[in-house]
Amino acid sequence: MAITANQVKDLREKTGAGMMDCKNALTEANGDMDQAIVILRKKGLASAQKKATRIAAEGMVGHYIHAGGKLGVLVEVNCETDFAARSADFQGLVKDVAMHIAAQNPLYVRREDVPAEELEKEKEIYRDQARASGKPEQIIDKIAEGKLGSYYQMVCLYDQAFVKEPSVTVEQLINNLIGKIGENLRVRRFVRFKTGEGLEKRSTDLAAEVQAALKE
């Protein structure tokens, strides 16, 4: 089917990909916009994997302070060049990641950052649950491993659904920009501060407040 200029323009605005990449994706998807987005994301991911070994030592430390100063986040995001670090796209990504951390409270950046002892604790919980439900012993470990995906989605930044666009993960969000600017990007570290955290006081769900603020 013929692909129109408006279709290409719409896909470009949604993904930030190049005009020819958008046209080719739409052609491959027979004009299906959602499928074309999936195709571009897959290509962006492949591009990101190729660039992942390149050194990313530039970048910036971004921050997000929730209204009233009750909740704050600092996050370091790296790229390869200072030119990229000064771009509006990169700075927008850093801001979005900081806001996401404030709202979703991840504990680690990636799966490999989760301590082995924490993973073992989780797997033991899943094993106990499987045994309690009468599952055969020979498949208990397999069930426990399979359930770790949900755990990673709760505690790992890269595995979490992006708070402003839940159809993509934070990792996919980053990979999409890698595909656009052609540089390796990575979140190196972050810290999240919450007033009175660890102290006994009136409970306030600041994460819920941040999520509500993002929807306004």
Does residue 75 share a domain with residue 122? no
Find tokens 């006081």 and name the residue: 201
Domain with residue 86: its CATH number is 3.30.479.20
Contact 148, 123 (CB under 8 A): yes
One-letter identity of residue 3: I
Does residue 139 share a domain with residue 177? no
Does residue 180 share a domain with residue 163? yes
Q: How do residues 114-163 score in pLDDT, each as one tens digit?
A: 999 999 999 899 899 888 888 888 898 888 888 888 899 999 999 999 99
The model carries a pTM of 0.68
Does residue 125 share a domain with residue 30? no
Q: Work out the angle at residue 56's Cα, subtended by the Cα atoms of residues 51 and 57, and round it to the nearest 5 degrees.
A: 170
Of 13, 31, 51, which residue constitutes the final position of a domain? 51
* Measured distance CA(194)–CA(8) in Å, rounded: 44
pLDDT greater at residue 96 or residue 36: 96
Please state whether 89 falls in left (phi above 0), alpha (psi between -120 and 50) or beta.
alpha
Does residue 175 share a domain with residue 124? no
Q: What percent of the chain has pLDDT over 90?
A: 42
Mean pLDDT over residues 36-56, rounded? Answer: 69
Is the pLDDT at 78 greater than 90? The verdict is yes
Domain with residue 126: its CATH number is 1.10.286.20
Domains of the chain: total = 3
Does residue 106 share a domain with residue 21? no
Is the pLDDT at 200 greater than 60? The verdict is no
- With cut-offs at 50, 70 and 90, classify the pLDDT of residue 94: very high
Domain with residue 13: its CATH number is 1.10.8.10
**Average pLDDT across the chain, whole number:** 85
Is the pLDDT at 46 greater than 60? The verdict is no
What ranges in the chain are assigned the alpha helix state H?
A: 5-15, 19-28, 33-51, 82-85, 88-104, 116-132, 140-155, 170-181, 206-215
Domain hosting 194: range is 58-110+156-215
